[in-house]
Amino acid sequence: MSAVGGPDLITNNLVFHVDASNPRCYSGGSICRDLTNINGNGTITNVSLSSDKAFLMNSNGSSISFLKAVNLANNFTYSVVFYVDNIITNDGTVLLTSFNDFYGGMGLAVYDAASDVYGLWTAFTDNISAGDEFTVSFGGSAPNFSRKIRILTGTWNGTTCTFYLNGNKVDSRSQAPAIISEQTYIDIGSNHGNYFPNNLTAAGTKIYQASVYNRALTDGEVLQNYNSLKTRYRI
């Protein structure tokens, strides 16, 4: 998958990919298409296309929801190109998640707490009672973090969670394996699970691209994906 101004986006084991600027993904209306042709169509709720070709969340409950057909087992990568207009004070902004109806799954979010901005990467087993969140400080206040396009990536290789911001490894954490066998949804924006704070995505949030792999990308591959996109989004 080529990208202007950089190397190709990694496609090996890519099992979900949406790009708001691609008319094959979105051409208006209430349907969004998974470009990998694996997960079919997603249902759009209170989301519009922004002037710079992003999915614009118009309210805290805005979402694009796909019924998922892929089992990610114990290795996966989630990545999202996003812009946050305003992080909800002392609360979370959900970006890209996959949960079942028992709140088992994984996801990416950012939130504001104690005058700092944190990233949240979660890998739960088949219900909320097991698993762990992984929070990483990005430093600075919410206003300083907002109003910039960024790429957030989380990987899980069965034993270790790793968090990347704009291609750079921020932190990693080893923990007990989280066996996730009942994922039901892929959600962009407000999610089906009940773990993230109030399940909200702040109005004004933009999602340009979102990707899921059924393996953990390496540091070099995460960096390659960043390099393939940074010129396009002027990061």
Give me the mean pLDDT over the 82-111 stretch.
77
In a domain, 28, yes or no: yes
> What's the residue count for the chain?
235
Instruction: Determine the structural domain holding residue 49 and report its residue range.
Output: 14-233
What pLDDT is recorded for position 58?
Answer: 92
In a domain, 117, yes or no: yes
In a domain, 6, yes or no: no
From CA 84, how far away is CA 197, in angstroms rounded? 16
In a domain, 2, yes or no: no
Say how many domains are in the chain. 1
Residues 208-225: tens digit of each pLDDT: 999 999 899 999 999 999
Give me the mean pLDDT over the 116-136 stretch.
60
What pLDDT is recorded for position 157?
Answer: 85
CATH code for the domain of 28: 2.60.120.200
Least confident window among 164-168, 173-177, 184-188: 173-177
Least confident window among 21-25, 49-53, 194-198: 194-198
In a domain, 104, yes or no: yes
In a domain, 1, yes or no: no
What pLDDT is recorded for position 3?
Answer: 46
Say how many C-beta atoms besides its own lie within 10 A of residue 178's C-beta.
21
In a domain, 134, yes or no: yes
In a domain, 9, yes or no: no
